[in-house]
Amino acid sequence: MTKDTDTIHTIRWTDAGLELLDQRDLPREENYLLFADVTGVAGAIRDMVVRGAPAIGITAAYGLVLAARQHYAESPQDWRRRLDEDIGLLAAARPTAVNLVWALQRLQHRLAGITGDPAPVLLEEARAIHAEDIEANRRMGAHGAAVIDAGSSVLTYCNTGSLATGGYGTALGVIRSAWAAGKLQQVYASETRPWLQGARLTAWELVRDRIPVTLITDNAAGYLMQGRRVQWVITGADRVTANGDVINKIGTSSLAVNCRHYGVGFMVVAPCSTLDFSLDSGALVDIEQRADAEVLVLADRRIAAAGATAWNPAFDVTPAELVDCLVTEQGVIRAPDRAKLAVLEPGFGNSG
Amino acid sequence: MTKDTDTIHTIRWTDAGLELLDQRDLPREENYLLFADVTGVAGAIRDMVVRGAPAIGITAAYGLVLAARQHYAESPQDWRRRLDEDIGLLAAARPTAVNLVWALQRLQHRLAGITGDPAPVLLEEARAIHAEDIEANRRMGAHGAAVIDAGSSVLTYCNTGSLATGGYGTALGVIRSAWAAGKLQQVYASETRPWLQGARLTAWELVRDRIPVTLITDNAAGYLMQGRRVQWVITGADRVTANGDVINKIGTSSLAVNCRHYGVGFMVVAPCSTLDFSLDSGALVDIEQRADAEVLVLADRRIAAAGATAWNPAFDVTPAELVDCLVTEQGVIRAPDRAKLAVLEPGFGNSG
């Protein structure tokens, strides 16, 4: 309770390897796991030791550094082929967040001209991705907070803070900025079943920052809006497609539908690394289906009758037309659509 | 798995007192608790040994029989005043469901002309309420099922089955009828946080009936609709006000908003005992706020960081205009409103 946000080291590169805060044990225990090889890192992403689109991208980048170091040491002639396999391994660890592929592509790009040991160059790039993410979050925080009127109350979803990013957070970064600016009356966090990232992680971060937080069950969000208790719902994104559709934690679309119905603002906060111009719309995104047990079992106890099955998509698609504001490090786009997003596409304006 | 629905005795009157199936332990254990006095019964309602608006009403009725028996035995001259106090005690156990008050008023009405032992008359009335509830559920099942097209899939919410009523169920009764008629392709149940009545109770009832059930987290309902995986969402009600507003388990209104957005049918199934013509609209209903711990603690473990609080309304208000069908034992009302509901008001048409 005496620490502040800057002491949350979700992802830390050390001489011994990559250290990750095991988010599955929070808020009960703060356990750090050390990963010395890429297989372990891919497993950590898949098993949700670390989660959150930007954090996954940064983790994968460091994971590839571990792979490069190992493969070059074992086989200075043949490391490139084996590194390509590991890029595939990391990319497949979780299919929905685009930041993972984006980070790996950035590292891959740096490999092009290398003849000697690739590890130092990749480590430099991974560290740059990490640092840029924190910087982008700070900018998004300021951009998003500027949109919020003083005296507002907000609801946030899942965890989009220091634990989900390189640091500070996307949606939670906006909330941190707005709180620091004295604009917020109350912060609600939705618990976010089945993993309870809101209850376990977002509440933990906010309490550490001494920002009062009130939890709700996910099904209470509509009624919260009906009573005009919040003016904004603020979420992150795992991928934003070219038309502005938002892929984010399951339940996001239901919040957006309720926001539109009740006239509550719906804000999505995501760095440009989350934009995927290769996909035309959200319908084309591979939505990860996770194990039934995540729904049927809770705290190691089966909660549902034997014989029941589950449908457990990890993400859903919020149509662009339900998004009031898309906040990136470049600024705020109101009522995002294909044309407004195109300006953010890498290379826009360069082709004449 | 070899039993059928008729063997679920949620509420059973015995010579020794009132036996209730402790729903807090399901599906893990089937424990029956015996209550021999009214204080215990009021506590059982408050602590959710038994829940579901019709089941609460029936339980309260039997509870008053216990009170009458005791007070008459202890004080044949003065039982009436003490019985009135116990009516207050029972009515206050949970404030939102109107069936509780309705059942108590029916018993109170029978007390008017009694001079001797009130218990036999009250027991007769409690048994009648119980039997009529089952009969009403059977009728609603048939009425509601007739509206559903063959090959449909449905989502239900909370628990509205044998455990929530005198037997068979309201919304779950419609699903049982539609399933028996071969009309249903798939039944989804929403887990219904924080008490998980969907996961714990509805799944248990459906598995016993050999009706395949697929659970979802509450936040997945909107995405289920977006993918056209369900044609109807079917819920019960704890109270329906004169204008057709529906007070039901927290999260119902969010489902209704999503149904309207995606063009999915929204059906509310409730006996006439749930209609409350004394209240003009849902805004006037006392919505029960329950303890923070229901949200912050799960399976005896604190899930949220110390320092976080919760907002935990047990019910919400779904505006009448979002309801496509209201099913009572009298039939189906499409797009219910004040005028259509007035026909169901006791005494309608008698006043000239």
Backbone angles phi, psi at B331, to 5 degrees: 140, -165
If you average pLDDT over residues B267-279, what whole number do you get? Answer: 96
Give CA–CA dist B160/B171, Å, rounded: 6
Asked if B220's CB is within 8 angstroms of A311's CB, the reply is yes
* Number of Cβ atoms within 10 Å of the Cβ of A13: 17
Asked if A296's CB is within 8 angstroms of B218's CB, the reply is no
Q: Which residues pair with B241 in a beta bridge?
A: B276
- Give the full edge-to-edge strand order of the sheet including B32-35: B11-14, B17-21, B32-35
Tokens coding A211:
């920002």
Q: What is the mean pLDDT of chain B?
A: 94
Q: With beta carbons less than 8 A apart as the criterion, state whether B330 and B320 touch.
A: no
Closest of A101, A98, A94, A49 to residue A290, by C-alpha: A94
Residues 6+ apart with CB under 8 A from A269: A140, A144, A160, A170, A171, A173, A174, A234, A235, A236, A237, A327
A99 alpha-carbon distance from chain centroid: 8
Identify the pLDDT of residue B46.
Answer: 96
Active-site hit among A86, A133, A209, A238: A238
Identify the pLDDT of residue A350.
Answer: 58
B90 alpha-carbon distance from chain centroid: 16
Question: How would you classify the pairing of strands A239-241 and A246-249?
Answer: antiparallel
For residue A16, the distance in angstroms to the closest alpha carbon of chain B comes to 31
If you average pLDDT over residues B31-59, what whole number do you get? Answer: 96
Active-site hit among B86, B209, B218, B238: B238
Residues of chain B contacting A193 with CB distance shorter than 8 Å? 191, 193, 217-219
How does DSSP classify residue A289? B
3-state secondary structure of A171: helix
Identify the pLDDT of residue B6.
Answer: 55
Identify the pLDDT of residue A4.
Answer: 44
Closest of A32, A156, A200, A30 to residue B306, by C-alpha: A200
Q: Could you report the per-residue pLDDT of A228-243, keeping only the tens digit for each?
A: 999 999 999 999 999 9
Q: How many CA atoms lie within 13 A of A347 on its CB side?
A: 2
* Number of Cβ atoms within 10 Å of the Cβ of A128: 13
Asked if B216's CB is within 8 angstroms of A194's CB, the reply is no
Q: Hey, which bits of chain B come out as E strands?
A: 11-14, 17-21, 32-35, 152-156, 184-190, 213-216, 232-235, 239-241, 246-249, 265-269, 275-276, 297-298, 301-302, 309-310, 315-318, 325-328, 331-334
Q: How many CA atoms lie within 13 A of A199 on its CB side?
A: 27
Chain A interface test: which of B217, B248, B281 (most A C-beta within 10 Å)? B217
Tens of pLDDT along chain A (352 residues) come to 334 445 688 999 999 999 999 999 999 999 999 999 999 999 999 999 999 999 999 999 999 999 999 999 999 988 999 999 999 999 999 988 889 999 999 999 999 888 899 999 999 999 999 999 999 999 999 999 999 999 999 999 999 999 999 999 999 999 999 999 999 999 999 999 999 999 999 999 999 999 999 999 999 999 999 999 999 999 999 999 999 999 999 999 999 999 999 999 999 999 999 999 999 999 999 899 999 999 999 878 899 999 999 999 999 999 999 999 999 999 999 999 999 999 999 877 655 4
Q: With beta carbons less than 8 A apart as the criterion, state whether B22 and B49 touch.
A: yes
**Which architecture does CATH list for B141-342?**
3-Layer(aba) Sandwich (3.40)
Q: Could you report the per-residue pLDDT of B284-316, keeping only the tens digit for each?
A: 998 999 999 999 998 788 999 999 999 999 999
Give CA–CA dist A54/A130, Å, rounded: 9
State yes or no: is B238 an active-site residue: yes
Backbone angles phi, psi at B287, to 5 degrees: -85, 120
Q: How far is CA B163 from CA A242, A305, A324, B314, in A?
A: 49, 14, 43, 18
**Residue of chain A whose alpha carbon sits nearest to that of B293:** A215
| Residue in the structure block whose two tokens are 């190992």 | A70
Closest of B141, B198, B130 to residue B175, by C-alpha: B141
Of A286-300, B206-220, B338-352, give the lowest mean pLDDT range. Answer: B338-352
* Number of Cβ atoms within 10 Å of the Cβ of B347: 7
Q: Hey, which bits of A102-236 come out as E strands?
A: 152-156, 184-190, 213-216, 232-235
Residues of chain B contacting A204 with CB distance shorter than 8 Å? 304-305
Q: Above 70 in pLDDT, residue B349?
A: no
3-state secondary structure of B22: coil
H or E element: which one contains B83?
Answer: helix B79-91
For residue B237, the distance in angstroms to the closest alpha carbon of chain A comes to 16
Tokens coding A188:
């609600």
Q: Residue type for B152, please?
A: S
Tokens coding B217:
């987290």
Instruction: Please provide the distance, in angstroms rounded to a whole number, between the alpha carbons at the two ends of chain B.
Output: 54
Q: Is B5-133 CATH 1.20.120.420?
A: yes
For residue A62, the distance in angstroms to the closest alpha carbon of chain B comes to 29
Q: Which residues pair with A20 in a beta bridge?
A: A11, A33
Asked if B304's CB is within 8 angstroms of A203's CB, the reply is yes
Taking phi over 0 as left and psi of -120 to 50 as alpha, with beta for the rest, B30 belongs to beta
Chain A interface test: which of B155, B187, B219 (most A C-beta within 10 Å)? B219
Give CA–CA dist B290/A9, Å, rounded: 36
How does DSSP classify residue B313? B
Q: Could you report the per-residue pLDDT of B108-124, keeping only the tens digit for each?
A: 999 988 889 999 999 99
Q: With beta carbons less than 8 A apart as the criterion, state whether A171 and A269 touch.
A: yes
Q: Could you report the per-residue pLDDT of B254-263, keeping only the tens digit for each?
A: 999 999 999 9
Q: How far is CA A274 from CA A10, A163, B275, in A?
A: 19, 17, 50
Confidence grade of residue B173 (pLDDT, cut at 50, 70, 90): very high
Asked if A296's CB is within 8 angstroms of B199's CB, the reply is yes
Asked if B215's CB is within 8 angstroms of A217's CB, the reply is no
Identify the pLDDT of residue B111.
Answer: 93
If you average pLDDT over residues B50-75, what whole number do you get? Answer: 96
Tokens coding A226:
């009906």
Q: Above 90 in pLDDT, residue B97?
A: no
Backbone angles phi, psi at B250, to 5 degrees: -50, 130
If you average pLDDT over residues B37-59, what whole number do you get? Answer: 96
Instruction: Please provide the distance, in angstroms rounded to a whole number, between the alpha carbons at the two ends of chain A.
Output: 54
Give CA–CA dist B9/B304, Å, rounded: 36
B223 alpha-carbon distance from chain centroid: 26
* Number of Cβ atoms within 10 Å of the Cβ of B348: 11
What secondary structure does DSSP assign to B137-202, as a single string? HHHHHHHHHHHSPTTEEEEE-S--STTTSSSS-SHHHHHHHHHHTT-EEEEEEE--TTTTHIIIII
Q: What is the largest CA-CA distance in chain B?
A: 66
How many residues appear in chain B?
352
Asked if B250's CB is within 8 angstroms of A213's CB, the reply is no
Q: With beta carbons less than 8 A apart as the criterion, state whether A285 and A243 touch.
A: no
Identify the pLDDT of residue A349.
Answer: 65
Asked if A301's CB is within 8 angstroms of B299's CB, the reply is yes
Identify the pLDDT of residue B3.
Answer: 40
Residues of chain B contacting A296 with CB distance shorter than 8 Å? 199, 215
Which of B27, B203, B253 lies closest to A223 in CB terms?
B253
Identify the pLDDT of residue A6.
Answer: 55
Residue ranges of domains in chain B: 5-133, 141-342
Chain B interface test: which of A254, A295, A297 (most B C-beta within 10 Å)? A254
What percent helix, strand, coil does chain A show, rounded to 5? 45, 20, 40
Q: What is the largest CA-CA distance in chain A?
A: 66
